[in-house]
Structure 1
Amino acid sequence: MRQRKVKNEEEKIESFCNYVIKDAKVHKGNWKEVFQNNNPIYLEVGCGKGQFITTLAKCNPHCNYIAVEGAGSVVLRALEKAAEAELKNIKFITNYVNDMTDYFERELDGIYLNFSDPWPKDRHAKRRLTHTRYIKSYKEVLKRGAGIEFKTDNDALFTFSTEEFLKNDMELIEYTDDLHMTDFTARLVTTEYENKFSKIGKNIHYLKAMSPK
């Protein structure tokens, strides 16, 4: 669903300048300097309104987080959450990222893909964030042995994604068609969509795929 533009959206986002990384590409290979520490760095692609990534940042002050979200009206809500919690270990890239290698070298300790657009038509398959063209770029920026965690409510997207990860030589170390019926720790931190779907009894698909060591 198309998000309604917020009045004075750009100015409001600008007011969170302590959180927003404007020229993110210039930090490629040097994200530790952005955070000014050597803590692990995790990335969420498509953070939405930020419930998931800000909760992780709040619960894990010993880790750093980068949230990517190109929809201004949506990322504004995530920025508000980060500021309200006075988080020091999170930064935001407020544009769409097509190739992770433009922004990072092999410096990420994990990537989260939560409830990505399923792009259901076959002709749009390359736009899915779990398509091979994206997975290849993820593998280039993840540290050896680091992983990608993926959640979706969409059955067809989960099947497609599973095949794509395996096709790209990634090992599935956690896998389920109903996350909240497992003891996987991934069930403990949720997104807004996840709460909504779980409330109406919709099962959540989840996998964790590891890159080669």
Structure 2
Amino acid sequence: MMRLRHIPGSEQMVGESPLVIHNPEAERGRWTRIFEAASPIRLEIGMGKGIFLHEMAREYPGVSFIGVERYATVLLKAIAKLTADPLPNLRFLCADAKELDKIFAPGEVDRIYLNFSDPWPKKRHADRRLTSPEFLAVYDRILAPSGTLEFKTDNRGLFDYSVETVQECGWTITGLTYDLHRSSMGIGNVMTEYEAKFSAKGNPICKLAARR
């Protein structure tokens, strides 16, 4: 895992930002009241600078997007972007993904995006991967019956692990490609910062979509 450079005061700045939902457990089961109108709720877990989610929120104004980022230092960059270019259907959480079922009620989330997650390549760290059985169980508890999980990465080892794991955990794969930008799944694709960087180097981007 890449070591993050801590920004002094980042926790306080995130804690004071009106773009971050504070005490999110209190909104469990009634997240639609956070936004101007009731709409599907979609999460990006580990959103980094928030570039992907910001573009998605602009493109789909009738959808409510929530970016989940564990580290305040990283979240500050997404907050700065949304402050400069406000969107009413995008807000943030500073939270651990393992706690999401304490924040969202069963069936409250329509879609979950996992983009270029940390691969945690060592076998002893497999349970930290965002597509591990432990995390999939959390997603299963908050996704609507027709809800979907979308995962993109350029890391073939992590992708192969994820394809195998989601099926072993009882999920159905509804879309799969090992070269997103040359497949029909790439139509309407919104790129992340890492996706643009890696694809520019010639790395094929893998993507899967799955339902419970």
Which bin holds the TM-score, normalised by the shorter protein? over 0.9
CA distance in 1, matches of 2:43, 2:58: 15
| Identical amino acids, percent of aligned pairs | 38
Residues 24-81 of structure 1 show CA distances to partners (whole Å, capped at 9, x for unaligned) of: 1111111011214211110011000100111101111100001100112211111111
What is the deviation of 1:13?
2.5
What's the counterpart of residue 93 of structure 2?
Answer: 93
Q: Cα RMSD (Å) of the superposition? A: 1.4
Paired letter, 1:145: S
Residues 144-172 of structure 1 show CA distances to partners (whole Å, capped at 9, x for unaligned) of: 11100001111111011111111122111
Normalised TM-score (structure 2): 0.94
Q: Which runs of 5+ in 1 are unaligned?
A: none
Compared CA separation, residues 83 and 185, structure 1 to 2 (3 A): farther
Paired letter, 1:63: V
What's the counterpart of residue 179 of structure 1?
Answer: 180
Q: Which runs of 5+ in 2 are unaligned?
A: none
CA distance in 2, matches of 1:97, 1:148: 14
Determine helix, strand or coil for the equivalent of 1:195. helix
Compared CA separation, residues 142 and 194, structure 1 to 2 (3 A): same
What's the counterpart of residue 39 of structure 1?
Answer: 39
What's the counterpart of residue 6 of structure 2?
Answer: 5
What is the deviation of 1:128?
0.7
What is the deviation of 1:177?
0.7
Normalised TM-score (structure 1): 0.93
CA distance in 1, matches of 2:100, 2:81: 25
What is the deviation of 1:137?
1.2
Is residue 127 from structure 1 mapped to residue 125 from structure 2 by the alignment?
Answer: no
Q: Which moved more, 1:166-175 or 1:6-15?
A: 6-15
CA distance in 1, matches of 2:139, 2:31: 16
Compared CA separation, residues 8 and 186, structure 1 to 2 (3 A): farther
CA distance in 2, matches of 1:187, 1:160: 26
Compared CA separation, residues 186 and 210, structure 1 to 2 (3 A): farther
CA distance in 2, matches of 1:43, 1:185: 20
What's the counterpart of residue 53 of structure 2?
Answer: 53
Residues 75-103 of structure 1 show CA distances to partners (whole Å, capped at 9, x for unaligned) of: 11111111222111111111323132111
